[in-house]
């Protein structure tokens, strides 16, 4: 395979993505030909790119001569026939299989037989796009993220016919363009759009059963280190776009219930509540999420016996945080490692780290009514929001004391309905499960999944990094607890995890 480092690049489609790809390729030193079916669109895109590059120069992010050089290398063309010399085609046209197929068939008659054909499709099978080509082995997915100049990730997607050398050449080229490429197999949603589904789906499921307000779910996931909560993120993406991605992954998986969209999404779309762009989604704009109710928690009542139960990082954190909370009284918590649960006992009451079991179930299993569960304190920021739920039969005293203890431990407790795995443990367990299935199916490697989720959707860590800080039995326990309550296919455990328990 010829190296693509000096190739003339033909970008087809001069919309949001095509313009970004043209900019990145030109800045990397390529001659770029830009074509769009709509008259004048390529010229207009170049004019906008000139303004973008000028802006970068004004901000001191790009030298003037570098910007001028990049712009000079971008040439709008009026007909595809002018691109005979292109060594690489990157297609970023409308997201329709028939349009992409016929474009590539036409291009095969124009460009050299050795030219590489890349598609920026975000949801169509690369295998299907290549079907009917004379040389399907040279077609590969080169999936950029929006905005292209800023987002580092490129999913290099191989279809059934893609030659490994072609995928490798695009991988290397993406690197040369300053991107972080990750190999992916052509399956619905590729890596990011597939693994990210539960981030929205679990929040939507909790909203549907009125477990919490959107701003509470958002605050809890931000408390776990996510840059945006799922509800504000869906409002930003647009519920129409997000619903359509969800629906296409669902359909492409032969209506596997695991990927079923939410009724709530459809209601929002049907009602035109598309999020920021329509002025209203979960929140009203420009205001955004309403402020959380202010809850003031006094210091917990003096207890006779406080003990930290269990092992692992959360138990260690509890020991240190409860120690700090009790220091003023001149004593610290006892440590009981063999209890079979992680958390705090305060006299007869229990504050338990969720293992998936709802508080009512834990109360029955532990034989005491005064039980509260708290969420997994992932990427714990001091004062960050943390969900908790109190068992239905708990005393009024423990209802007040459980959040007072959480506040004393240094987190901002937010009440949720008594659901399995609350919000963070539930969401993260599902993200890990989806990533595990993707690896099982050879879609990507664990490292690829981690890089893709951190760079493609800005997750604070990758699913396998979360798994390393948790443990397989713990993740499986949360999934099984969810399955025990909801049944159906959604929470089935990936065989990749099951065989590691």
Whether the CA torsion 155, 89, 242, 492 is positive or negative: it is: negative
Q: Out of 14, 314, 342, 444, name the contact with ligand NAD by CB under 6 A.
A: 14
Question: If you count DSSP H runs as helices and E runs as strands, how many of each does the chain have, helices first?
Answer: 20, 15
User: Site for ligand NAD (CB under 6 A): which residue of 4, 7, 17, 363?
Assistant: 17
Name which position in 13, 214, 356, 384 contacts ligand NAD (CB under 6 A).
13
Q: Is 323 in the site for ligand NAD (CB under 6 A)?
A: no
* Residue 276 DSSP symbol: G
Distance separating alpha carbons of residues 1 and 169, to the nearest angstrom: 7
The binding track of 120-139 with respect to ligand NAD, each residue x by CB under 6 A or -, is: xxx-----------------
- Give kind and range of the element (H or E) at residue 315: helix 313-326
**Stretch near ligand NAD under the rule CB under 6 A, chosen from 23-31, 88-96, 244-252, 292-300:** 88-96
- Candidates 6, 29, 38, 84; binder of ligand NAD (CB under 6 A) is 38
- Total of chain residues touching ligand NAD, rule CB under 6 A: 23
Of 30, 91, 108, 143, catalytic: 143
* Runs of H (alpha helix) within 28-155: 41-58, 64-72, 97-108, 126-130
Q: Is residue 413 helix, strand or coil? A: strand
When asked if residue 421 is in the footprint of ligand NAD (CB under 6 A), the reply is: no
DSSP-assigned beta bridge partners for residue 468: none
Q: Which DSSP symbol is given to 146?
A: S
Are residues 228 and 236 in contact, defined by beta-carbon separation less than 8 angstroms?
Answer: yes
- Could you tell me if 412 and 380 are in contact, meaning their C-beta atoms sit under 8 angstroms apart? no
Residue 303 CB contacts under 8 Å (≥ 6 apart), including other chains: 346, 347
Q: Is there binding between residue 87 and ligand NAD (CB under 6 A)?
A: no
103 binds ligand NAD (CB under 6 A): yes
Task: Determine the interface stretch with ligand NAD among 22-30, 115-123, 288-296, 299-307 (rule: CB under 6 A).
Answer: 115-123
Nearer to ligand NAD among residue 120 and residue 419 (C-beta): 120
Of residues 83 and 409, the one with the C-beta less far from ligand NAD: 83
List the structure tokens of 360: 């009512």
- The answer to whether 149 contacts ligand NAD (rule: CB under 6 A) is no
Asked if 94 touches ligand NAD (CB under 6 A), the answer is yes
Site for ligand NAD in 46-85 (CB under 6 A): none
Decide if 75 is catalytic: no
- From 44, 75, 95, 172, residue interacting with ligand NAD (rule: CB under 6 A): 95
CB neighbour list of residue 285: distance below 8 Å, 6 or more residues apart: 235, 275, 276, 279
Query: Is 297 an annotated catalytic residue?
Result: no
For 475, list phi and psi in degrees, rounded to 5: -65, -45
Residues constituting the chain = 501
CB 227 within 8 A of CB 458: yes
Peptide bond between residue 98 and the one before it cis (omega within 30 degrees of 0): no
Is 15 a binder of ligand NAD (CB under 6 A)? yes
For residue 6, indicate whether it is catalytic: no
Smallest separation, CB 15 to ligand NAD (Å): 2
> Of these residues, 122, 158, 345, 433, which one is catalytic?
122
Q: Is 32 in the site for ligand NAD (CB under 6 A)?
A: no
Residue 392: active-site member: no
- List 91, 155, 202, 465, catalytic entry: 155
Q: Which of 11, 24, 92, 195 touches ligand NAD (CB under 6 A)?
A: 92
Alpha-helix runs per DSSP H in 327-445? 359-366, 396-408, 424-440
Catalytic annotation, residues: 122, 143, 155, 193
| Residues in touch with ligand NAD (CB under 6 A) | 12-18, 36-38, 41, 92-95, 99, 103, 120-122, 144-146
């Amino acid at each position: 395979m010829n190296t693509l480092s000096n190739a003339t690049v033909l970008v087809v489609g001069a919309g949001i993505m095509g313009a970004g790809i043209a900019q990145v390729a030109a800045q990397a030193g390529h001659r770029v030909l830009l074509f769009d079916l709509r008259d004048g669109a390529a010229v207009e895109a170049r004019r906008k790119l000139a303004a973008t590059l000028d802006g970068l120069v004004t901000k001191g992010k790009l030298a003037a001569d570098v910007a001028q050089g990049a712009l000079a290398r971008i040439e709008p063309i009026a007909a595809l026939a002018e691109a005979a010399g292109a060594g690489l085609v990157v297609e970023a046209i409308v997201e329709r299989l028939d349009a992409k197929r016929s474009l590539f068939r036409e291009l095969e008659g124009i460009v050299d037989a050795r030219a590489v054909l890349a598609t920026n499709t975000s949801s169509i099978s690369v295998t299907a796009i290549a079907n009917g080509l004379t040389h399907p082995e040279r077609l590969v997915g080169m999936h950029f993220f929006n905005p292209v100049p800023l987002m580092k990730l490129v999913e290099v997607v191989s279809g059934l016919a893609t030659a490994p050398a072609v995928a490798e050449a695009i991988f290397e080229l993406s690197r040369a363009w300053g991107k972080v490429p990750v190999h992916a197999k052509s399956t619905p949603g590729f890596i990011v759009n597939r693994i990210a589904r539960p981030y929205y789906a679990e929040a939507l499921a909790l909203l549907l059963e009125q477990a919490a307000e959107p701003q509470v779910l958002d605050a809890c996931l931000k408390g776990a280190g996510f840059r945006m909560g799922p509800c504000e993120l869906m409002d930003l993406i647009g519920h129409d776009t997000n619903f359509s991605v969800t629906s296409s992954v669902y359909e492409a998986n032969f209506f596997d219930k695991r990927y079923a969209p939410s009724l709530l999404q459809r209601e929002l779309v049907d009602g035109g509540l598309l999020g920021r762009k329509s002025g209203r989604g979960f929140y009203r704009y420009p205001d955004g999420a309403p402020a959380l109710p202010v809850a003031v928690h006094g210091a917990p009542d003096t207890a006779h016996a406080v003990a930290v139960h269990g092992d692992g990082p959360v138990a260690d954190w509890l020991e240190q945080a409860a120690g700090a909370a009790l220091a003023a009284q001149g004593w610290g918590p006892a440590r009981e490692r063999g209890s079979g649960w992680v958390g705090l006992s305060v006299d007869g009451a229990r504050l338990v780290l969720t293992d998936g079991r709802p508080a009512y179930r834990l109360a029955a299993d532990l034989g005491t009514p005064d039980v509260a569960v708290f969420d997994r304190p992932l990427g714990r920021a001091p004062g960050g929001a943390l969900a908790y739920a109190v068992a239905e039969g708990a005393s009024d005293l423990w209802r007040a004391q459980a959040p007072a203890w959480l506040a004393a431990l240094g987190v901002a407790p937010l009440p949720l309905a008594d659901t399995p795995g609350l919000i963070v443990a539930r969401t993260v367990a599902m993200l890990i499960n989806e990533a595990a299935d993707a690896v099982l199916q050879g879609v990507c490697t664990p490292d690829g999944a981690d890089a893709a989720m951190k760079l493609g959707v800005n997750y604070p860590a990758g699913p396998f990094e979360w798994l390393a800080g948790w443990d397989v039995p713990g993740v499986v326990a949360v999934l099984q607890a969810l399955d025990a309550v909801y049944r159906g296919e959604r929470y089935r455990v990936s065989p990749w995890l099951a065989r590691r328990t």
